[in-house]
């Protein structure tokens, strides 16, 4: 019963946490300079007074933009809803416009934020899920193997490889792989495509052809993502298992006649997974957020690249919608981590927290 009440409290805590995250970020987009209104006025000045102008600017001539900037600014603020109090703007964004999903994009007025995000979700899910599964499928067995061969040649050799992969920045690794295996240089191997997600087929591809083509395009981006994230998880798995193997209860199990293999796999292994579960839930947010750097280098039209373009272009309606979606999945992921704690180790007591 205590566990259920704890989960209920955590679930209720999600609401104020989400409001706090989005309210702070929403307020920053309203008070920081260089917003959509300023960007609109700059584009107008760059056009020499052409483009859209207000009715009051008519007849002011080619140089009329500078003379009606303040008046036109007020019209633009009213058009974007910036003339209302901040609490009313936030309420409209959160409730009326469904976390900004119904708002039109500032850069693409003919599309709403949700329409832009919806087209990128499958790409980010494909990229994130494949990277997530490969990371855990590599890290957990590798961490176990390193723990069982602690201070042996395999442990030392794999540690060198792990730390080298971890030390290389993801953008540097992505550029190096792209130069070496995408034919960017005359002496490089032309094995993988330069970017994108699919090839141009002459006919409708079969499911297997589509899958192989998608895997071919995603091989290098996923390799960059896994190389940058698996070092910490591998060492965490190794150190966690070593701590459990050296614990008193493992020695007690062995003293009672159990083999070392049985003590490790039936007792220590399950408890060693508890720290691994910490990162499992938050990784759900990564599935949908994508990777800005990797998506940019390999020209992958995912949510990471969309959020970067929205931030650079001051398209705050899309950026805030992406932030709300990512924060929601991140908070849900934290709840999943708590549930995994209970499943992996029922001895964990949350009643006093």
Q: Calculate ∠ Cα 101-16-118, nearest 5°.
A: 20
Rounded to 5 degrees, φ, ψ at 185 are: -115, 160
Question: Does the pLDDT at position 353 exceed 70?
Answer: no
pLDDT of residue 339: 79
pLDDT of residue 96: 92
B/e letters for 151-176, b = 16+ CB within 10 Å, e = fewer, are eeeeeeebeeebeebeeeebbebbee
Q: Calculate ∠ Cα 14-26-41, nearest 5°.
A: 160
pLDDT in tens, 165-186: 788 887 888 888 888 888 767 7
> Does residue 274 or residue 116 have the better pLDDT?
116
User: What are the boundaries of each domain within the chain?
Assistant: 2-110, 114-344
Q: How many CB atoms lie within 10 A of CB 261?
A: 9
Tell me the pLDDT of the chain averaged across its residues.
82
> Does residue 203 or residue 325 have the better pLDDT?
325
pLDDT in tens, 58-82: 334 444 444 446 777 788 888 888 8
pLDDT of residue 1: 59
pLDDT of residue 53: 44
Question: Does the pLDDT at position 57 exceed 60?
Answer: no
pLDDT band at 273 (very low <50, low <70, confident <90, very high): confident
Q: Which CATH number fits domain 114-344: 1.10.10.410, 2.170.150.20, 3.40.50.150, 1.10.3720.10?
A: 1.10.3720.10
Q: Indicate yes or no: pTM above 0.85.
A: no
pLDDT band at 343 (very low <50, low <70, confident <90, very high): confident
pLDDT of residue 51: 44
pLDDT in tens, 12-41: 899 999 999 999 999 998 888 877 888 877
Q: What percent of the chain has pLDDT over 70?
A: 85
pLDDT in tens, 128-169: 788 888 888 888 899 999 999 988 999 999 999 888 878 888
Of 317, 249, 331, which Cα lies nearest the Cα of 15?
331
**In angstroms, rounded to a whole number, what is the distance separating the alpha carbons of residues 229 and 303?**
19
Q: Please say whether the beta carbons of 99 and 93 come within 8 A.
A: yes
Average pLDDT (104-127) is: 88
pLDDT in tens, 85-115: 999 999 999 999 999 999 999 888 899 999 9
Question: Does the pLDDT at position 321 exceed 90?
Answer: yes
Of 163, 161, 152, 196, which Cα lies nearest the Cα of 178?
196
pLDDT in tens, 218-263: 888 888 888 877 788 888 899 999 998 988 888 888 888 888 888 8
Average pLDDT (287-297) is: 74
Rounded to 5 degrees, φ, ψ at 301 are: -80, 65
pLDDT of residue 52: 46
């Amino acid at each position: 019963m205590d566990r259920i009440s704890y989960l209920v409290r955590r679930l209720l805590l999600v609401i104020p946490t989400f409001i706090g995250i989005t309210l702070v970020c929403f307020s920053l987009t309203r008070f920081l300079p260089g917003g959509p209104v300023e960007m609109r006025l700059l584009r107008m000045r760059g056009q020499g007074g052409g483009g859209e102008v207000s009715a009051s600017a008519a007849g002011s001539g080619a140089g009329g933009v500078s003379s009606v900037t303040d008046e036109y600014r007020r019209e633009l603020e009213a058009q974007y809803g910036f003339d209302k109090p901040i609490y009313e703007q936030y309420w409209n964004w959160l409730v009326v416009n469904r976390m900004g999903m119904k708002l039109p994009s500032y850069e693409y007025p003919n599309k709403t934020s949700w329409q832009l995000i919806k087209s990128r979700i499958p790409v980010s899910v494909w990229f994130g899920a494949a990277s997530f599964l490969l990371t855990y499928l590599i890290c957990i067995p590798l961490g176990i193997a390193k723990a069982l061969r602690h201070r042996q040649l395999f442990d030392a050799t794999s540690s060198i490889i792990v730390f080298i992969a971890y030390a290389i920045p993801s953008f540097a690794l992505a550029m190096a792989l792209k130069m070496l295996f995408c034919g960017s240089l005359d002496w490089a191997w032309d094995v993988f495509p330069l970017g994108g997600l699919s090839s141009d087929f002459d006919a409708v591809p079969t499911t297997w052809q589509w899958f192989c083509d998608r895997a071919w395009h995603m091989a290098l981006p996923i390799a960059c993502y896994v190389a940058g994230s698996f070092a910490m998880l591998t060492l965490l798995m190794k150190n966690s298992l070593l701590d459990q193997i050296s614990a008193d209860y493992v020695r007690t199990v062995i003293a009672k006649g159990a083999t070392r293999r049985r003590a490790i796999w039936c007792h220590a292994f399950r408890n060693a997974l508890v720290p691994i579960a910490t990162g499992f839930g938050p990784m759900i947010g990564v599935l949908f957020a994508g990777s800005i750097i990797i998506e940019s280098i390999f020209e992958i039209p995912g949510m990471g690249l969309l959020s970067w373009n929205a931030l650079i272009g001051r398209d705050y309606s899309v950026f805030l919608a992406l932030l709300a979606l990512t924060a929601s999945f991140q908070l849900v992921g934290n709840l999943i981590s708590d549930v995994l704690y209970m499943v992996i180790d029922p001895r964990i007591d949350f009643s006093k927290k």
